[in-house]
Structures are given as C-alpha cells and as structure tokens.
Amino acid sequence: MSSATVTTTCAYCGVGCGVKMQPHAEGFTASGDGAHPANLGRLCVKGSALGETLDLNGRLLHPEIDRQPVSWSQALDAVAQGLQAIIRDHGPQAVAFYGSGQLLTEDYYVANKLMKGFIGAGNMDTNSRLCMASAVVGYKRAFGTDAVPCSYRDLELADCVILTGSNIAWAHPVVYQRLAQAKKARPEMRIIVIDPRQTATCDIADLHLPLRPGSDAALFCGALNAMAEHNLLDSDFLKQHTQGGDETLTAARDWTEEHTAAFCGLPLTQLRTFYQMIADSDRLVTLYSMGINQSSSGVDKCNAIINLHLAAGKVGREGCGPFSITGQPNAMGGREVGGLANQLASHMGFTKEEIDRVERFWKSDNVTKSAGLNAVELFRAIEQGQIKAVWIMGTNPLVSLPDADRVRAGLARCPLVIVSDVMRDTDTTRAAHICLPALAWGEKNGTVTNSERCISRQRAFLPVPGEAKPDWWILSQVAQRLGFGEAFAWQHPAEIFREHAALSGFENNGSRAFDISGLAQLTDREWDELRPVQWPVNAANPQGRERLFTDGRFFHSDGKARLIAITPRLPINQPTSVAPLIMNTGRIRDQWHTMTRTGKSARLMQHISEPFCQFHPADAPDVQDGDLVRVSSSHGWLLLRARPDSLQPRGSVFVPMHWNSQFSQQARVDALVEANTDPLSGQPESKHMPISLRRWAAVWQGELFMRGNHLTPPATAYWSRIAQPDITHYVLADSSIPKDWLAWLNEYAAVGEWICQSAHLGEKGFNLLAWADGELQLAFYAHRDRPGVDRQAVVAAFGQPPQTAPQRLALLAGTAGKGKASAGATICSCFAVGEHKIADAVRQGCSSVQQLGAQLKCGTNCGSCIPELKKILAEQLAFNSGMS
C-alpha cells in the first residue's frame, strides 16, 4: 500500500478528472488534482467518495470454475482448452468477446489483438455499443474519422452552448461546474438545454426545450434551414471544406418553423428564441450524449447536429464544435484500440490495405477479414447457438443490455461463459462457468482517454488483493496457452502501451487522426510519470493538440468534410392503448451504472436509496408519492417506488438504469427495453419504450436491519437493499401477511437465539428488536402502510445501543430520534446534509443557496446539489408565502 499521495485518474465518468489519493490511518482520501487539465482541482461527489468504495467486501479474489475456487493455472487452462475445442469444432466465429469502456487502454489493446489478430474472429464488441456507437459513426460520416474536434475549454469560450440529450449536472458534474462558472463570469453566454425532462442541468440554462422524445433530428434540420433562409451560413467554408451541402440543405427545406415546432411539440416562440440564440452566436458548441446516441436513428441525429456546425463554419475554431461527450472513463481509449466489432485496430477498418497493414505489424496471418457481430447481434447469436463461447470483461450485460431477460436466458444455454470481473456476485457472474478475478481501480496500472482526447494515467496505490490479476495479464496468459506466446510476451503494461502507440503511427502519414507515435519510445519510467496529454501526439504535435481540424482539412480522401442529408425518424415504438406512456431511462447523480461500486457507499445511497419511477401526477392520478408501482412493457415488468413530479413531462416516465438483482427484487430496467437498434451503428434505443404504470397495493411494507452482511433478501414481492456501514438493510413489501412474524423472520435470521423485544400492532403491523450481549442484532418494522422508521436512529443504535427503557421503547416503535429533526434524503452528499434540515433552514429565514451554504455547508464543495437546493428553496419559499 502506498504511503505517499498518489496522483491518478477518477474511476468513473468520461470527464476523466485527475485525483490525488492521500493515505491516512483508516484508508485514503480523494481530492482533485489541481494540475490535471480536465478538472483543475475540482471533483464531484462520486469522485470525492472514491476512498469509501475501496473495501474488499464482495470482491472476486480467486479464480472460480462453477463457483468453486481453483488455481490460476487450472482456470487459465480451462479457458484456453475450452476456447480451443470450440474453435477446432466450430471455427473462430463461434467464440466472442464482450468488453467495456472501463478497461484500461492496455487491457483493451490486448483483448483486441487476441481476438481480431490471432484467434481471427471479428466477434469482439463492447458496452460502448450501448453508449458511443452512434457518435462514432456520426463523426466518421462527417469527418472521415472518429475524432472529437474540441476540448472542455471550448465550452468555456463559447458564446452559446447547446446541451442536448445530456444531463451533465448529474452525469458529467465537473464539466457542469466548469460551464456554470464560465456562465457566471460571462453572464451573456447562452446555455440551451434540450431534453424532454426538466433536469438538474436546466438550472444554468437560459432556455429549456422540452421537445417530444426522439425529435432532435428535426429540430436541428429546422435550425439549419432557418440559418440558410436568413443567410447565416458560412458559404466559403461550405464551398472550400465540405461536400454534400446542397443535398443536405434541400432535404432540410421541409423543416419550416411551423412544421418543426409541430413535429417537436414546441411552441413556435420558443423555437424562434432557440434559432435566434444560435444566430446571435459566433462561437457555438453543441454537446450531446445518450439522449441523442441511444436511438434507432442516433447516427442521423449526430449528423444533423454536425451538419449545422459545418454549414455555419462552427468547427475547428476556438469555442466551437459538435462535442460528443463520452460516458465511461475509457470509452475513448476503446475507440482508439478498435474495440468495437466494426473496427479492426487503431482507427483502421477492414479494407484489404488496412488488414494487410495490421497483419504485418502484428506479424499474424490470421487477422479477421471482416467486421463481427455487434453487442445485440452477438448475444442473439449466443441464444441461437452460433456462438458457443463468450468472454465478458468489465461489463454487466445481464443488467445493461436491452431485452436483458432474454439475454440471460440465451446466456444460460451458452456452453462456455467466461467472466472477468472485480465483484463475485453480479447478475453476469451468476451466469458464468469460469470467473476470473481482475484488479480493480486503485490496484491496476495503465492509461485511459477522456472525452477531450486526453490520455492520463490510472495508477495503483493499493496492494494486490487475494489472487486478482490485471486484465492484460490474464488475456496474455490465455494467448500463450493458445500458442500465440511471442506476440503476447509483455511483462509490464508500458510495453503494451508502446506497441499500441507504434501501431497508431505505423504507415500513418497523416491518414489517421489517431496518432500517438510520439509516445512510442517512452521508457517504463516515462510512461509511469506520463502527464495528461491530448492526442494526436506525433512529430507535428509533440505536446499534443487541443483542437482538431483548425486548417479545415478533414480525413475523407479529398480532405473535405461531408454534410449528410437527413430524413428525421421518430422512435420505433410509439405509445399504444395498453402501453400509453413512454419510459425514458438514464442516470442519477450518485450511482454508477449497475451499482457494483457506488452501491457500497452508504453516503451515496442516501441521495436516492430505492429504484424509482418519476412521472407527471396526472399520468397516474391514483398513485401517491411513496406508493409502489408496477411498470410493465411488452417485455417484462418492474416494481418501483413512485415519485410523482409535476416537472416531469406528460406521458413520459423516467426510470434509473442502475438497480441490479443484488439491490432490488424486480428493478432491472433493461428487462423492459426492446432491442431496437440504429441500422448504421447498432446502438439500441434505450430511452423510448412504451409502458403502462399502475399502483401495486402492498398488504404490508417493512424495513429490516441486521448486523453484518450475511442476510439474504427475504422472499417478498418487493425488496430493495440500502447500503449501511456494517449493517444489512432491506426495505420490504409483500402481498400476503405471514401467519407468524417470528417464524417468518427465523427463515432469514436466527432470531430465536436472541433476546427479542416485540410489539404486535394488531392488524396494523409488527415490530421487533433482537439483542445479544447487550448489542442490537436485528431490528424489524412491518406496517400496513410504509412504516415511518427513523433509519438514522436505528442504524446508530447498532453502534450505540439505547440505555434507558423509554429509549428502547422508542427504538422499538421506530421513532427513536424523531424528536430531533430527521434528515430526510441526503441532498448534499459531500457534507451529508438532508432535505429536512435544508427545508428547516429556509423556514427559519435562509433565502439563497449562498445563505444555506454559509449555515449548513451544503453545496459548498462539489456543487452537484445546487440545482436541488434551489428546488427546495423555491418550494419552501412558495409554501412560506402561501402560509403568510
């Protein structure tokens, strides 16, 4: 374990913040790296909680076959022999690899080289298919290369920033902070949010366009048309640097103001304001992410955005550009190595010339000759038996792929499922024959590339736990057993990085945007000490490059960019009489993906602690806040906590993507999502599924707390797990009442062996406390409605048992501590400030975010909660004025 502060890169989002991990007696504290260009010292709440998620609870620490621990040599032999037998009997196309934008570049490079270069199978894809695939194709069509032209600084320099399909306040918080600060410094800067939902990001917006879901392409075609009609296009740029302008403008001509406003469901005046703001801005950045990409016409949406930038000459200049922001810490690195099935390697595809070049570089005559199956197709091929072995690494597809129950059923029939993960019990490891323990963030060493092409180092500062190994090492060991030893003989990740850098420059001569040949000669030490640098890094750009295409030269063979004529299409599935609402899915502020990491942090879980669905109250008038609801699509159903919210658009229901089977009984949102994909990118339409919603009437609801982490979830129709330090905590609900509460509890915990104190509340419910050696072992509360338990007080009682009889009685009633103000949901995670405390402070006179910060500290560290503070302020002030 490192005794000095280590500088590394955050484990989470594509902002790619630099982090300093400082050791102290109990662990590590994370703080922002002031020298990192992405964050300049800032961190968001997930980044600042990195030190809280380093424990080894639940980790996969030994290789396993059929859930039994085995030695590494047994596991590696089993993987190699299993793959070999399948390749021998069915050919290389019968094996597949499914990777992740959370692998390090070095790991990713090795996986790609093994599959596409030596096994000779194209069936290697990644979770980036669900994330960036449309953006990649959009850039390639327009620029002839998959390259983000701009930098975070361009956001700060712009006159106008359009954020479409992107909730950066929650998903890219440090970019949000940078933008919020830039706007504060230059209030004339315009920020426009395009999102059917009113999100936290709208807090800094001058204009929010709550457009009809899926109608973005029309909106941007309309903007292009309006700019053309008012002679606001850059005709010199169009002529000299682009092709396809005429066809594109002709196609956009249909999108008159009236037609666009009607199609997008926006008032004409709002649309005109939008056009005017664009027209008034010399410098324009459009930043987009999942609300654009996750669509059956995602590529066209990306190109509709890029068309506008090209036609107006707003690319390759300061403060300008179409900016697809990446999600995962190394989504960009995956694109660099060629991790998607339709890429070969290092920004090369499958032309004869490219295959030949890669064959010579890798010294292999077995390089795959064509693109393989994308994620959705790949899991279909598994279901249909064409693919007989799959190696899944760094992703949890049984939670995150659309039609997830079908994927699970398909995988159950696959003869060989190998899963490399850091956690032992995930939905996907449960389906594995062989589990391989990988080193996690903080233990592994390598590089990642963020949204603005900035390569930075993730450095190890923790000891190797158990028998876990780096992913690159595991892959290389298997490669050696398959007979490819020479090409996989690395001893250190720096050797892999140098090879990757050399390939990027190999016979490049300016033909490929991704070129880091300038880093191909780094010594191990230089690699270890590598400072963040934006690619390309080559002879022409030895220090890297902030902005691309500044000379108006693009990567199509004629050097010109392409405008693409777009015919906007709506999402494939539209509401029906049985499924009249649309389910929109996405992220919440304090959770990361399928929760394997953030789900461990009690602090992060206090913001939103149960899987929920948010909808306009008029869409389900009989459902009250806090009820349970059943959400059903043609593919499956979920049980979720209801959060009616009048800011949610009519007809649209928001459900988070995060909850998995370890955290809730029936809340994997992708079980409901149909696998409709974009024809060009293969990316699924994850944000638009017709559903119905109805109240689910529980007969009782309860809360169960038990010391330690061994309690399995009770067999109730609904349960959710909430992380608590050293305690297992379930929220429960069921449709029948147990005949005997004690007998029922005994099925899960040995309650009978403890001293029990219980209260039968007749029809209404049952409470129980169980004690051993004066310490609280278990607390249980069941009620016909939701028991109003003071959770903080119950959790505290496990550490400090109440001493007096009245205190114990209060604990038994679940009301201990209720005299003091209970905190409610944690709004400010940095300083653990709850909603009730904030509302109280407003009642007592605080009338601004600054005053709240001065009194309670909330919002004064990362600032992610400021939109929510403002919401509470507005609600409470409105309430106060109503009362006076």
Ligand X SMILES: Nc1nc2c(c(=O)[nH]1)N[C@H]1C(S)=C(S)[C@@H](COP(=O)(O)OP(=O)(O)OC[C@H]3O[C@@H](n4cnc5c(=O)[nH]c(N)nc54)[C@H](O)[C@@H]3O)O[C@H]1N2
Q: Which residues bind Mo ion (CB under 5 A)?
A: 131, 327
Residues in contact with 797: Cβ distance below 8 Å, sequence separation at least 6, in sequence order: 776, 779, 811, 816
Please name which of 11, 216, 19 lies closest in space to residue 134, comparing C-alpha atoms. 216
Distance (Å, rounded) from C-alpha 664 to C-alpha 610? 8
Distance (Å, rounded) from C-alpha 593 to C-alpha 83? 30
Please name which of 772, 472, 431, 723 lies closest in space to residue 601, comparing C-alpha atoms. 723
Q: Which of residues 16-35 bind ligand SF4 (CB under 6 A)?
A: 16-17
Secondary structure, 3-state, 363-428? CCCCCCCCCCCCHHHHHHHHHCCCCCEEEEECCCHHHHCCCHHHHHHHHHCCCEEEEEECECCCCC
Q: 328, 665, 666, 728: which one contacts ligand X (CB under 6 A)?
A: 328
54-59: long-range contacts (C-beta < 8 A, 24 or more apart)?
Answer: 54/27, 54/28, 54/442, 54/462, 55/600, 56/465, 56/466, 57/600, 57/709, 58/423, 58/424, 58/425, 58/600, 59/422, 59/423, 59/424, 59/437, 59/440, 59/465, 59/466, 59/468
Residue 16 partner contact from ligand X, ligand SF4, Mo ion, none using kind-dependent CB cut-offs of 5 to 8 Å: ligand SF4
- 534 sits near ligand X (criterion: CB under 6 A): no
Q: 63, 92, 327, 644: which one contacts ligand X (CB under 6 A)?
A: 327
| Closest separation in Å from C-beta 48 to ligand SF4 | 7
| Closest separation in Å from C-beta 18 to ligand SF4 | 9
Query: Which of 38-46, 178-186, 287-295, 763-771 is the region at the interface with ligand SF4 (rule: CB under 6 A)?
Result: 38-46
Q: 12, 97, 139, 379: which one contacts ligand SF4 (CB under 6 A)?
A: 12
- 850 secondary structure, DSSP code: H
Distance (Å, rounded) from C-alpha 721 to C-alpha 664? 6
How many CA atoms, within 13 angstroms, populate the side-chain half-sphere of residue 612?
Answer: 17
Nearer to ligand X by Cβ, of 100 and 242: the residue is 100
- 63 sits near ligand X (criterion: CB under 6 A): no
Which residue type sits at 147?
Answer: A
Residues in contact with 82: Cβ distance below 8 Å, sequence separation at least 6, in sequence order: 389, 416, 418, 434
The neighbour count for residue 808, using CB atoms within 10 Å, is: 18
Residue 167 partner contact from ligand X, Mo ion, ligand SF4, none using kind-dependent CB cut-offs of 5 to 8 Å: ligand X
- Pinpoint the alpha helices (H) of 280-395: 290-293, 298-311, 331-337, 352-362, 375-383
Residue 43 partner contact from ligand SF4, Mo ion, ligand X, none using kind-dependent CB cut-offs of 5 to 8 Å: ligand SF4
Q: Which of residues 630-689 bind ligand SF4 (CB under 6 A)?
A: none
Which residue type sits at 645?
Answer: D
Cross-strand pairs, 208: 193
Distance (Å, rounded) from C-alpha 561 to C-alpha 553? 8
Residue 174 partner contact from ligand SF4, ligand X, Mo ion, none using kind-dependent CB cut-offs of 5 to 8 Å: ligand SF4
- 120 sits near ligand SF4 (criterion: CB under 6 A): no
Binding mask 679-708 for ligand X (x = CB under 6 A): -------xx---------------------
| Closest separation in Å from C-beta 404 to ligand X | 9
- 15 sits near ligand SF4 (criterion: CB under 6 A): yes
How many CA atoms, within 13 angstroms, populate the side-chain half-sphere of residue 807?
Answer: 10
| Closest separation in Å from C-beta 158 to Mo ion | 24
Pairing between strand 284-288 and 160-164? parallel
| Closest separation in Å from C-beta 837 to ligand SF4 | 25
Residue 17 partner contact from ligand X, ligand SF4, Mo ion, none using kind-dependent CB cut-offs of 5 to 8 Å: ligand SF4
| Closest separation in Å from C-beta 612 to ligand SF4 | 22
Residue 596 partner contact from ligand SF4, ligand X, Mo ion, none using kind-dependent CB cut-offs of 5 to 8 Å: ligand X
Contact, 551 vs 316, CB < 8 A? Answer: yes
| Closest separation in Å from C-beta 213 to ligand X | 4
Tokens representing residue 529 in the block: 């000490």
Q: 136, 284, 462, 657: which one contacts ligand X (CB under 6 A)?
A: 657
| Closest separation in Å from C-beta 535 to ligand SF4 | 19
The C-alpha angle 110, 111, 113, rounded to 5 degrees, equals 65
Nearer to ligand X by Cβ, of 97 and 549: the residue is 97
Query: Which of 168-176, 308-316, 343-351, 506-514 is the region at the interface with ligand X (rule: CB under 6 A)?
Result: 168-176
Binding mask 557-596 for ligand X (x = CB under 6 A): ---------------------------xxxx-x-xxxx-x
Integer CA distances (angstroms), 337 to 101, 347, 430, 652, 825, in order: 11, 7, 29, 38, 42
Q: 20, 33, 39, 688: which one contacts ligand SF4 (CB under 6 A)?
A: 39
Q: Which of residues 125-184 bind ligand SF4 (CB under 6 A)?
A: 172-174
Which strands, in side-by-side order, build the sheet including 755-760? 718-724, 727-734, 700-707, 775-783, 765-772, 755-760
Nearer to ligand SF4 by Cβ, of 51 and 802: the residue is 51
Query: Which of 39-47, 227-235, 776-784, 840-848 is the region at the interface with ligand SF4 (rule: CB under 6 A)?
Result: 39-47
| Closest separation in Å from C-beta 775 to ligand X | 33
Cross-strand pairs, 285: 161, 321
Reduced to 3 states (helix: H, G, I; strand: E, B; else coil), residue 799 is helix
- 823 sits near ligand SF4 (criterion: CB under 6 A): no
Binding mask 359-388 for ligand X (x = CB under 6 A): ------------------------------
Q: Which of residues 109-138 bind ligand X (CB under 6 A)?
A: 127, 130-131
| Closest separation in Å from C-beta 54 to ligand SF4 | 15
Residues in contact with 189: Cβ distance below 8 Å, sequence separation at least 6, in sequence order: 158, 159, 160, 161, 182, 183
Query: Which of 62-70, 179-187, 362-370, 667-675 is the region at the interface with ligand X (rule: CB under 6 A)?
Result: 667-675
- Interface positions with ligand SF4 (CB under 6 A): 10, 12-13, 15-17, 39, 43-44, 46-47, 172-174
- Interface positions with ligand X (CB under 6 A): 13, 100, 102, 127, 130-131, 164-167, 170-172, 194-197, 199, 213-214, 216, 289-291, 294, 327-328, 393-397, 399-400, 420-423, 426, 438, 440, 444, 471, 584-587, 589, 591-594, 596, 657, 669-670, 673, 686-687
